[in-house]
């Protein structure tokens, strides 16, 4: 496939992915049919199956689009000069979705994303985030052990625990944020507990990690 054809192919595929993403968030993955996707994207069934063999493959493409956008900045963080604590803090800085200025749109997205009918969507995304993030955390944790800034039994197992802690604290924060009147004190307590768990897990002094981003709430 030459460059021009490849560009056209990728653009059409991305158009379908974006159309389906909006539809899945609106109706839920299970409720949205292939025919719904065809109508939203303005394409024929033949065109759809030229790019995707089934709806689940399309869901995987949506998840990949989201998670792969983090690979380049994660690579840059891990490969740069600096200590492991600074690198881990830089990873935390990648995601500033809880900043006050972002919370209006966050509430709209999460109200859809955390619906029961979208649980398969959420699980697929969590699995893909874990696949992408864990190897970079592993490298940072290994560096921290070698230089003496972290103390843990195993970088791989610790990386898995860090990812699970991220998911758990995120879900708890979203649960509170979705209430008609979110309690800022509760959200702050969740974030402080999250940071304290991370610091104790890695045996670093209190306040070393910046999981608590500035400008929250």
Contact 98, 190 (CB under 8 A): no
Which of 30, 217, 19, 16 has its CA nearest to residue 122? Answer: 30
Q: Are residues 32 and 78 in the same domain?
A: no
Q: Which of 33, 62, 91 is the last residue of a domain?
A: 62
User: Tens of pLDDT along the chain (217 residues)?
Assistant: 566 677 788 899 999 999 998 888 788 777 889 999 999 999 999 999 999 998 888 888 887 887 787 888 999 999 999 999 999 999 988 865 545 555 554 565 566 667 777 778 778 878 888 999 999 999 999 999 999 999 999 999 999 999 999 889 888 888 887 788 889 899 889 889 999 999 999 999 999 998 765 434 3
Contact 50, 115 (CB under 8 A): no
Q: What is the pTM of this model?
A: 0.75
Q: Which of 34, 62, 90 is the last residue of a domain?
A: 62
Phi, psi angles (nearest 5°) of residue 139: -65, -40
Q: How many domains does the chain have?
A: 2
Q: Are residues 93 and 148 in the same domain?
A: yes
Q: Are residues 81 and 178 in the same domain?
A: yes
Does residue 43 form part of some domain?
Answer: yes
Domain range holding 24?
3-62
Which contacts of 166-174 are long-range, i.e. CB under 8 A and separated by 24 or more positions? 167/126, 169/193, 169/194, 171/114, 173/98, 174/110, 174/114
What pLDDT score was predicted for residue 173? 83
Quote the Cα angle for 24-29-33, to 5°.
Answer: 90
């Amino acid at each position: 496939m030459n460059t021009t054809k490849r560009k056209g192919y990728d653009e059409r595929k991305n158009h379908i992915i974006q159309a389906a993403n909006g539809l899945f968030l609106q109706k839920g993955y299970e409720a949205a049919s292939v025919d719904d996707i065809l109508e939203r994207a303005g394409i024929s069934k033949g065109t759809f199956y030229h790019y995707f063999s089934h709806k689940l493959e399309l869901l995987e493409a949506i998840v990949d689009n989201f998670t792969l956008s983090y690979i380049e900045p994660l690579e840059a963080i891990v490969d740069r000069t600096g200590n492991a604590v600074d690198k881990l803090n830089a990873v935390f800085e990648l995601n500033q979705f809880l900043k006050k200025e972002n919370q209006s749109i966050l509430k709209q997205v999460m109200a859809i994303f955390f619906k029961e009918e979208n649980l398969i969507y959420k699980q697929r995304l969590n699995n893909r985030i874990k696949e992408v993030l864990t190897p970079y955390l592993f490298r940072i944790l290994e560096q921290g052990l070698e230089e003496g800034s972290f103390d843990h039994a195993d970088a791989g197992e610790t990386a898995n625990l860090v990812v699970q802690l991220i998911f758990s604290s995120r879900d708890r924060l979203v649960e509170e944020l979705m209430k008609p009147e979110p309690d800022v004190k509760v959200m702050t307590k969740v974030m402080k507990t999250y940071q304290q768990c991370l610091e104790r897990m890695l045996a670093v002094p209190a306040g070393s990690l910046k999981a608590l981003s500035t400008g929250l709430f």
